[in-house]
Amino acid sequence: MEEKKNLQSQVTYEALNSTSEGMSRRDALKMIALGGAVTTFGAPTKVEARAKSDKHVKVLVVGGGSGGIMALARLRSALPNADITIIAPNETHLYQPSQVFVAAGLQTVEDMVKDNKDFIDDSVHWIKDEVASFDPEHNSVTTRGGEVVAYDYMVVATGVAYHYEWIKGLTEKDIGTYGISSVYLNNAEKGTADGGPITWEWFEALKKSAASGKKPTALYTAPSTPIKCGGAPQKILYLSADHLKKEGLGANFVYTTAKSKLFSLPEIDKSLTDVQKRYDKITNKFRHNLVAIDVPNKVATFEETYEVKGEYDPDLEEYDVTEEKRMVDMKYDFIHIVPPMGPPKALVDSLLGWQKGTAKGWLEVDQETLQHRRYPNVFGIGDVCGIPLGKTGGSARHHGPITVGNLVAQVEGKPLKEKFDGYTVCPLKVEYGEIILAEFNYDGLAPSFPLAVEKPRFLWWVFDLYMLKPMYWYLMLRGWM
């Protein structure tokens, strides 16, 4: 308990010193005054009893991102006699939510980077490599370097892979050229996060173009695949639009998404529709999926899915409706691309992924227990899980106690009682200084505080910009929340 108090003090220290980032001491103190409300933000309190086992078992964690490190911290406490190994190639740990703030010119890459050794205890065997293949039939994995690692229990926390190459004509090298940006662009293994700085330069170039007297056309894309932080495409849209608005400028903003609406929950969808009215005209192109791009000529090609009304059915008293597809070309001056995403190839090629359906390739875990549906000694955490919701850092934090609690129960031969309710949080940045904090789960809206979830608030902006990062470094990654 004393260690936890010290860590919470470190968060307070970070808040007090955030004045150097432009936050007033008064505002920092306001945030600290939230006290328990801040440090229990969306906390899954029922699981905090911390199940333990003294058994000697081999536990393998695959992945050194937020999910893997959160799981590792809890496993060390829950299984004090276990032989724990982590396979993770990245010596650098990126606080990826900061990439949007870097893109908005409010933080730097240096603000989002720490050494992974700060979070991996010397008692843990750290293999600085990547898993090349999984063999759940023999309880082992093989690394890129050819090392075979056996386990009794395994936590898969590999995250997602970006696939810019799935867009015909596009490569990662094109990001930052010909009016193209992508805030997601990073390489955890190399410790680079170029997407934020590139997108900030893109913001400035867009503003310069708008100030030249012409009205540039700016496209913002969202793919048909699941993505981490589903709100990021719109965050870039609204922040860049606000960046221009502050200078009395505008553009032809076009938001293209493979989805049929701005947000799945009607309350949030309505609020975002109202937000769009704040800015110069925003045109929404729903059910448009970016499939190709002519980089030098600045033409994006989308596959549009649309409905065709057929003959009238008098028995059903309705028209037959079918879906068809067509290709649509759009010219642009600037384009922000969110890449298609999927599970890592090693998982896709293994027996651990879903074998069919829309979740094919993603880790086949039960959506509540996060235990693999066919291999009971395997559990998942984070973005790699093939479940309906949960590709956010906030979800991974909620996965942590559930994954570890159920793994310990499996070790002890007890029923798996911990259940993930689908908790997801998406801080939708709708302008500089306002966020809609969309919290929801499998059943719908799930606010942690008695405030209207759909309302944009300065409070959430302050929380996200100044408090969430130190909480992540000093509490979440150490298993304290």
385 is catalytic: no
CA distance 237 to 476: 29
Is residue 207 within 8 A of residue 184, CB to CB? The reply is no
Q: Are 479 and 462 in contact (CB under 8 A)?
A: no
Catalytic, out of 229, 290, 404, 453:
229
Residue 357 CB contacts under 8 Å (≥ 6 apart), including other chains? none
- Cα-Cα-Cα-Cα dihedral of 30, 35, 38, 42, to 10°? -150
Q: Rounded to 5 degrees, what are φ and ψ at 144?
A: -55, -35
- Which residues are bridge partners to 303 per DSSP? 289, 327
Q: Which two tokens stand for residue 301?
A: 């090609």
| Cross-strand pairs, 219 | 254, 335
Query: H or E stretch including 13?
Result: helix 2-16
Instruction: Give the closest residue to 64 by CA, choosing from 103, 96, 97.
Output: 96
H helix runs in 219-356, sequence order:
232-245, 266-276, 345-348
Q: Are 479 and 74 in contact (CB under 8 A)?
A: yes
Residue of 6, 122, 24 whose CA lies nearest to 465:
24
Q: Which of 426, 430, 436, 467 is catalytic?
A: 426
Query: How many CB atoms within 10 Å of residue 392?
Result: 22
Give which of 260, 264, 267, 310 is closest to 285, Cα–Cα: 260
How much of the chain is in helix, strand and coil states, percent to nearest 5?
30, 25, 40
Catalytic residues: 229, 426
